[in-house]
Amino acid sequence: MKSVEEFSEEARTWLDANASRRPVDAKSGWGEGSDDVSIFHNLAYEDEKALLDRAKAWQQKKSDAGFGAITWPQAWGGAGLTQAHKDAFEDLEMEYVTPDNHETFSITQNLIAPTINLMGTDEQRELFMRRFLRTEELCCQLFSEPGSGSDLASLSTRAERDGDEWVINGQKVWSSGAHFAEWGELITRTDPDVVKHAGMTVFMLKMDTPGVEIRPIRQMSGGSSFCEVFFNNVRIPDSMRIGEVGEGWKVTLTTLGFERGNSTRMHRIGGGWREIRALGEHFGADDPLIRQKMVDVYIGERVGEMSGLRTQASRKAGAAPGPEGSIAKLAWVQQLDRVARTAEAILGPRVTADTGDWGTWAWTQHILGAPGYHIAGGSDEIQRNIMGERALGLPMEPRADRGPWRDLPR
Ligand SMILES: Cc1cc2nc3c(=O)[nH]c(=O)nc-3n(C[C@H](O)[C@H](O)[C@H](O)COP(=O)(O)OP(=O)(O)OC[C@H]3O[C@@H](n4cnc5c(N)ncnc54)[C@H](O)[C@@H]3O)c2cc1C
pLDDT in tens, 346-387: 999 999 999 999 999 999 999 999 999 999 988 999 999 999
Q: Whose CA is nearest to atom 13 of ligand 1?
A: 174
For helices 273-283 and 324-347, give the axis angle rounded to 10 degrees. Answer: 10
The SS3 call for residue 212 is strand
Residue 28 pLDDT greater than 70, yes or no: no
Nearest of 362, 365, 372 to residue 279 by alpha carbon: 362
Q: Mutate which of 106, 142, 174 to test ligand 1's pocket (most atoms within 8 Å of Cβ)? A: 174
Residue limits of CATH 1.10.540 in the chain: 4-101
Question: Taking the CA of residue 110 as centre, how many other CA atoms within 13 Å lie in the half-sphere pointing to its CB?
Answer: 19
The SS3 call for residue 186 is strand
For helices 83-93 and 288-316, give the axis angle rounded to 10 degrees. Answer: 150
155 CA from centroid of ligand 1 (Å): 13
Atom of ligand 1 nearest to the CA of 141: 9
Lining residues, ligand 1, CB within 6 Å: 140-141, 143-144, 149-150, 174-176, 226, 372, 375-376, 378-379, 381-382, 385, 397
Over residues 274-293, mean pLDDT: 94
Nearest of 54, 43, 374, 39 to residue 216 by alpha carbon: 43
Q: Whose CA is nearest to atom 27 of ligand 1?
A: 149
CA-to-CA dists, residue 51 to 74, 331, 380, angstroms: 27, 29, 31
Residue 266 pLDDT greater than 60, yes or no: no
Residue 267 pLDDT greater than 80, yes or no: no
Look at the chain and count its residues: 410
Please give the residue that has the higher pLDDT: either 55 or 319.
55
Residue 325 pLDDT greater than 50, yes or no: yes
CA-to-CA dists, residue 384 to 259, 261, 318, angstroms: 16, 16, 25
Cα of first residue to Cα of last residue in the chain, in angstroms, is 54
Nearest of 253, 126, 132 to residue 183 by alpha carbon: 132
Over residues 121-140, mean pLDDT: 96
31 CA from centroid of ligand 1 (Å): 38
- pLDDT averaged over every residue in the chain: 91
Fold of the 266-391 domain: Butyryl-CoA Dehydrogenase, subunit A; domain 3 (1.20.140)
- What is the band of 261 on the pLDDT scale with cuts at 50, 70, 90? low
CA-to-CA dists, residue 103 to 44, 107, 296, angstroms: 16, 7, 27
Residue limits of CATH 1.20.140.10 in the chain: 266-391
Fold of the 139-246 domain: Butyryl-CoA Dehydrogenase, subunit A; domain 2 (2.40.110)
Atom of ligand 1 nearest to the CA of 380: 47
- What is the band of 178 on the pLDDT scale with cuts at 50, 70, 90? very high
CATH of domain 4-101: 1.10.540
Residue 53 pLDDT greater than 90, yes or no: yes
Over residues 210-227, mean pLDDT: 95
pTM, whole model, 2 decimals? 0.92
Q: Whose CA is nearest to atom 50 of ligand 1?
A: 376
142 CA from centroid of ligand 1 (Å): 13
pLDDT tens-digit series, residues 331-341? 999 999 999 99
CA-to-CA dists, residue 95 to 24, 82, 98, 322, angstroms: 8, 21, 9, 32
Contact 343, 363 (CB under 8 A): yes
Got the DSSP string for 365-397?
A: HHHTTGGGGGTTTS-HHHHHHHIIIIIS-PPPP
117 CA from centroid of ligand 1 (Å): 26
Please give the residue that has the higher pLDDT: either 88 or 315.
88
Give the pLDDT confidence score for residue 240 in this predicted structure.
98
Give the pLDDT confidence score for residue 320 in this predicted structure.
67
Q: How many degrees, rounded to 5, is the angle at CA 25 between CA 273 and CA 16? A: 120
Which residue type is seen at 290?
Answer: I
Give the pLDDT confidence score for residue 363 in this predicted structure.
97
3-state DSSP of 314-348: HHHCCCCCCCHHHHHHHHHHHHHHHHHHHHHHHHH
Q: Mutate which of 106, 142, 150 to test ligand 1's pocket (most atoms within 8 Å of Cβ)? A: 150
Over residues 229-236, mean pLDDT: 98
Over residues 195-201, mean pLDDT: 96
Give the pLDDT confidence score for residue 29 in this predicted structure.
65
Give the pLDDT confidence score for residue 100 in this predicted structure.
83
CA-to-CA dists, residue 353 to 29, 61, 284, angstroms: 23, 40, 20
Percent of the chain topping pLDDT 70: 96
Pairing of strands 165-176, 183-189: unpaired
The SS3 call for residue 252 is helix
150 CA from centroid of ligand 1 (Å): 5
Over residues 315-333, mean pLDDT: 80
Please give the positions annotated as active site: 259
Over residues 151-169, mean pLDDT: 97
213 CA from centroid of ligand 1 (Å): 22
Q: Mutate which of 104, 105, 144, 365 to test ligand 1's pocket (most atoms within 8 Å of Cβ)? A: 144
Residue 25 pLDDT greater than 80, yes or no: no
Nearest of 187, 209, 184, 183 to residue 197 by alpha carbon: 187
CA dist., res. 218 & res. 121, Å (int) = 37
Q: Whose CA is nearest to atom 25 of ligand 1?
A: 149
Residue limits of CATH 2.40.110.10 in the chain: 139-246
Q: Whose CA is nearest to atom 37 of ligand 1?
A: 150
What is the Cα gyration radius of the chain? 22
- Give 205's DSSP letter: E
220 CA from centroid of ligand 1 (Å): 17
Give the pLDDT confidence score for residue 400 in this predicted structure.
78
Q: Mutate which of 106, 253, 260, 379 to test ligand 1's pocket (most atoms within 8 Å of Cβ)? A: 379
CA dist., res. 346 & res. 280, Å (int) = 7
Residue 26 pLDDT greater than 50, yes or no: no
